[in-house]
Amino acid sequence: MKEKEGFVDYPEQQMILYVEKDDGNYGPMQTGSYISANYMDDYVYKRRNLEIDLRNQVTSGAISPIKYYMILVDLSFSELAARAHIRKSRVKKHLDPKLFGSATMEELLKYAAVFNVPIANLLQILLVKSNGSFESDFILEPKSSGIMVGQSQTSNPYVILTKIEEKSR
């Protein structure tokens, strides 16, 4: 690939591409991501729709919160069990909305660590109003909202602080 063919103007996501330079030598060129520059809107659209679909399922009791997050972070059932250090048979139960309630607090802490969310968010979905509609804080890019939701862990592993504030402009 020639240098001029490879260049993409997308400062938000830079990468190194190996290209043929004008002198015929091959070498690295810093450029933007082609797929992000051209298809980011489509990615965001699909991700939002997926979250809405899963949210509808979890709020109607069709799936458990564990399954909601598992699909959103694109983990397989086996990988979730391995990462959370919870037996597969137990994970299988917790994916079932009727048996989710059998999860212990310790197990929920382990799931929360894998999903990188506070334990409280396994029992609630934070929605932030952005561009006229409510969106999940889990998938919302901070720059797209005027509201900032900050959640910090306290010394008590079961308690988190949630602070909601307007972003300074």
Partner 1 sequence: MIVQNFNHKMAAHCESGTITSLLNHGGLNITEPLVFGIASGIFFGYFHKMKSFAFPTFIVRNKPGQMRTNIEKRLGVRFKNYDFKDPVKGQQTLDQLLQNNIPTGAQVDFFYMDYVPSWERVHINVHFLVVTGKTENKYTISDAYFPQMVELDADSLEKGRFAGGNMSPKGFIFHLDKLPADIDYNKAILKGISKACFYMLKIPIPFLGIRGIRMFGKKVVEWPKFARDTEHLSHEIMKINILLEDQGTGGAGFRFMYATFLQQAATITGKPQLAELSAELMKIGDGWREISLFSARIGKNRDLGPDKLKQLSEMLYDRANVEERFFKSLSQAIK
Task: At 127, give phi and psi (nearest 5°).
Answer: -110, 135
Check: CB of residue 97 under 8 Å from CB of residue 63.
yes
Looking at the Cβ atoms of 63 and 103, the one nearer to partner 1 is: 63
For 21, other C-beta atoms within 10 Å of its C-beta total 12
Closest contact distance (angstroms) between CB of 29 and partner 1 is 9
Q: Which of 49, 56, 59, 133 binds partner 1 (CB under 8 A)?
A: 49
25 binds partner 1 (CB under 8 A): yes
Closest contact distance (angstroms) between CB of 144 and partner 1 is 11
84 binds partner 1 (CB under 8 A): yes
Long-range contacts of 107-112 (CB under 8 A, 24+ apart): 109/157, 109/158, 110/84, 110/85, 110/86, 111/66, 111/69, 111/80, 111/84, 111/86
Closest contact distance (angstroms) between CB of 24 and partner 1 is 9
> Which residues of the chain form contacts with partner 1 (CB under 8 A)?
1, 6, 12-20, 25-28, 30, 33-36, 38-40, 42-44, 46-47, 49-50, 73-79, 82-85, 113-114, 116, 139, 141
